Amino acid sequence: MTNYASAAVPGWAAHAWVIWPLFAVLVLAGIGLVLWNRRLDVATRPLARLGRVGRSGRGRHDSLHPPHVERVRGRETELAELAGMLRRPRGRFAVLCAAGGMGKTTVAAQFASQANAAGWRVFWVRWRDSAELAQQMVQTALACGLPEAELESARAGRASLPDTVWRQLGRARRWLLVVDNADEPQEIGPAGEPLADYRGWIRPHGRGLLVMTSRDCSPQTWGPRARLLPLKPLPAQSAGQILVDAAPTAGTAQQARDLAMRLGGLPLALHAAGTYLAGPTSRYRTFTTYRQALEHELPLLLGAEHPDASHPRVARTVVRHTWEVSLDQLAREGNALARPVLRLLAVLAEAPVPLSLITPDLLSAVTGDDVTFPALEAAFAGLHRYGLLDLPHS
Ligand SMILES: Nc1ncnc2c1ncn2[C@@H]1O[C@H](COP(=O)(O)OP(=O)(O)OP(=O)(O)O)[C@@H](O)[C@H]1O
Ligand SMILES: [Mg+2]
Tens of pLDDT along 114-156? 999 999 999 999 998 888 999 999 999 999 999 999 999 999 9
% of residues, the chain, pLDDT over 70: 91
**236 with 257: CB under 8 angstroms?**
yes
pLDDT of 57 higher than 60: no
- Do 296 and 302 contact (CB within 8 A), yes or no? no
CA–CA distance from 281 to each of 74, 189, 245, 263, 337 (Å)?
30, 48, 19, 22, 41
Taking the CA of 126 as reference, the closest ligand is 2
Distance 65 CA to ligand 2 centre (A): 15
Instruction: Supply the DSSP symbol for 51.
Output: G
Which of 116, 312, 303 is CA-nearest to residue 215?
312
Pick the ligand that lies closest to the CA of residue 107.
1
Give the helix ranges, DSSP H, for the chain: 2-5, 16-49, 76-87, 104-117, 130-143, 148-155, 161-171, 219-222, 236-246, 253-262, 267-278, 287-301, 312-315, 319-332, 338-347, 360-367, 373-385
Query: Is 75 strand, coil or helix?
Result: coil
What are the backbone angles phi and psi of residue 296, rounded to the nearest 5°?
-120, -10
Which atom of ligand 1 has the smallest separation from the CA of 108?
A: 18
What rounded mean pLDDT belongs to the chain? Answer: 89
Please give the distance, rounded to the nearest whole angstrom, from the Cα atom of residue 189 to the centre of ligand 1: 26
Distance 285 CA to ligand 1 centre (A): 23
What burial class does residue 83 get, using C-beta atoms within 10 Å of its C-beta: 0-12 exposed, 13-18 middle, 19+ buried?
middle
Ligand nearest to the CA of 234: 1
Q: Is the pLDDT of residue 48 over 80?
A: no
Q: Is the pLDDT of residue 170 over 70?
A: yes
β-sheet bridge partners, residue 93: 226
Rounded to an integer, what distance in angstroms lies between the CA atom of residue 284 and that of residue 243?
A: 14
Phi and psi, residue 343, nearest 5°: -60, -40
Q: Report whether pLDDT(379) > 50.
A: yes
Name the residue among 261, 63, 390 with its Cα closest to residue 273: 261
Residue owning the nearest CA to atom 13 of ligand 1: 268
340-352 per-position pLDDT tens digit: 999 999 889 888 8
Fold of the domain built from segment(s) 53-230: Rossmann fold (3.40.50)
Residue 175: Cβ-neighbour burial (10 angstroms; 0-12, 13-18, 19+): buried
Q: Cα of 2 to ligand 2 centre, how many Å?
A: 67
Using most ligand atoms within 8 A of CB, pick from 77, 268, 306 the residue to mutate for ligand 1.
268
DSSP conformation class of 9: -
End-to-end alpha-carbon separation of the chain, Å? 86
Residue 46 has pLDDT above 60, yes or no: no
Ligand 1: residue of 125, 271, 388 to mutate (most ligand atoms within 8 A of CB) is 271
Question: What is the band of 13 on the pLDDT scale with cuts at 50, 70, 90?
Answer: confident
- What spacing in Å lies between the alpha carbon of 256 and ligand 1's midpoint? 18
Range in 37-51, 67-81, 323-337, 371-385 the model is least confident about = 37-51
* Closest CA relative to residue 186, chosen from 142, 129, 131, 105: 129
Q: What is the 3-state secondary structure (H, E, C) of 336-356?
A: CCHHHHHHHHHHCCCCCCCHH
Q: What is the largest CA-CA distance in the chain?
A: 109
Phi (first) and psi of residue 210, to 5 degrees: -100, 130
**Which whole-number Å values give the CA distances from 364 to 136, 372, 377, in the listed order?**
47, 9, 14
Shortest-distance ligand to the CA of residue 268: 1
Cα 40 from Cα 362, distance rounded (Å): 67
Residue with CA closest to ligand 1 atom 24 = 100
For the CA of 317, the nearest atom of ligand 1:
26
Share of the chain above pLDDT 90, in %: 67
The rounded distance, in Å, linking the Cα atoms of 98 and 110 is: 17
- Where do the domains of the chain lie? 2-50, 53-230, 236-301, 323-385
CA separation for the pair 147, 141 (Å, rounded)? 9
Q: Where are the beta strands (DSSP E) in 183-246?
A: 209-214, 226-230
SS3 (DSSP) at 93: strand
Residue 177, strand partner residues: 123, 210
Site to probe by mutation for ligand 1, drawn from 69, 73, 106, 214 as the one with most ligand atoms within 8 Å of Cβ, is 106
Concatenated DSSP letters of 146-165: --HHHHHHHHTTSS-HHHHH
Ligand 1 atom having least distance to the Cα of 231 = 21
